[in-house]
Amino acid sequence: MTAVNLRTAYGEALVRLGRKDWRVMALEADLGKSTQSVMFQAEFPDRYFQMGIAEQDMTSTAAGMALAGMIPFVHTFAIFATGRAYDQLRNSICVPNLNVRICGSSAGLSDFGDGKTHQSIEDVALMRAIPHMSVVCPADSIECEKMMECLLDWEGPVYIRINRNDLPFVTPPDEPYHIGKVTQLRDGRHVAIFAAGVMVSIALEAAKTLEAEGISARVVNVSTIKPLDRDAIVRYAAGVEAIVTAEEHSLIGGLGSAVMEALRSVAHAPVEFVGVPDTFGVSAEGYDGLMARYGLTPATVVKTAKALLKRT
């Protein structure tokens, strides 16, 4: 049974990888219960490295292990994985194109309580900009499990963005998956909504509302933000009158930017982004409230689509 909680699904998938391949190692920076790397620790204590509160050190240590042929998974909150250890990631891991997997846990706004210093809304922009780095963001636990299976053979570093919460199942369970896959979850002819992570289920909800109002929406799950399947983006952006991107990330440099980069040399319908404006987060009592504060809701997606279609 796939766990609904993304962190739990991640932790279980990591254990399965560990059983399959001895080269899988886990490194943790004192957030093992939060990232769920504790599951790996329980089964493979000898391949688990508690590095203490020292993210930069952890990241470069993983580089050293990868140089010896291991597949290290480093764990901490997304904000520290990408921000604190950025130079280590860039220069020790991405320049030599090493097989290190970076688990950015409690990503986006999902660490709602801890506030601006802990909410990572720039991580996709940062990771996407580094040559060699791949960036994946599962829409649900089913997809997370399949992604993890791909991480044994994938060449080069991968950043995997993990939400803290339970996410509804939205991806087709039996469909094969590969990194780079862009999946249409629902077809429509008026508007195409490209979404990633938690925003996929929100886009699907929006599509239902739009349908009730006579607007047919295509919903596309872009769970690999890099390398982006440009052909698929162009294909799914064709034949509609409006395009909306939806992401739990800053409007600068994330999925919206990636989609626009893909569409830059082709004729396309007008595009609007749903995402976090250029601001730091705040502490909140709950995840939904924080998402609503920044308009990461079905209602905003609906409103944005209708505005582009001039149907307000």
Partner 1 sequence: MKLEPAERMTVSETTVARVRERARLIRRSALEMIVKAGNGHPGGDMSSADILAALYFGVLRFDPKKPLDPGRDRFVMSKGHCSGAFYSALAMAGFFPEADLASYMKPLSKLNAHPCSAYLPGVETSTGPLGHGMPVAVGMAIAAQIDNAPYRVFVLTGDGEQQEGSNWEAGMTAGHRKLSNLTLIIDRNRLQQGARTEDTVGLEPLADKWRAFGWDVEEIDGHDHAQLLRVLAAPATPRHKPLCVIANTTKGRGVSFMCDQAKWHHGVPDAAQFATAMKELEA
Ligand X SMILES: Cc1ncc(C[n+]2csc(CCOP(=O)(O)OP(=O)(O)O)c2C)c(N)n1
Exactly one of 290, 296, 301, 302 binds partner 1 (CB under 8 A); which one?
290
The residue range among 46-54, 66-74, 89-97, 178-186 that interacts with partner 1, by the rule CB under 8 A, is 46-54
Count of residues interacting with partner 1 (CB under 8 A): 28
Q: Cβ closer to ligand X: 118 or 306?
A: 118
Could you tell me how far CA 53 lies from the centroid of its own chain?
24
Residue 189 binds to partner 1 (criterion: CB under 8 A): no
What pairing do the DSSP bridges indicate for beta strands 134-136 and 224-226? antiparallel
Q: How far is the CB of 212 from partner 1 (least distance, A)?
A: 31
Q: What is the contact surface with ligand X in residues (CB under 6 A)?
A: 29-31, 53, 55, 80, 84
Q: Cβ closer to ligand X: 74 or 242?
A: 74
Q: How far is the CB of 162 from ligand X (least distance, A)?
A: 15
Over the window 245 to 284, marking each residue x when it contacts partner 1 by CB under 8 A and - when it does not, the resulting string is -------------------------------------xxx
For residues 125 and 253, is the Cβ–Cβ distance under 8 A? Answer: yes
Q: How far is the CB of 114 from ligand X (least distance, A)?
A: 8
User: Would you tell me which residues interact with partner 1 (CB under 8 A)?
Assistant: 30-33, 38, 50-54, 56-57, 79-80, 84, 113-118, 282-285, 289-290, 293
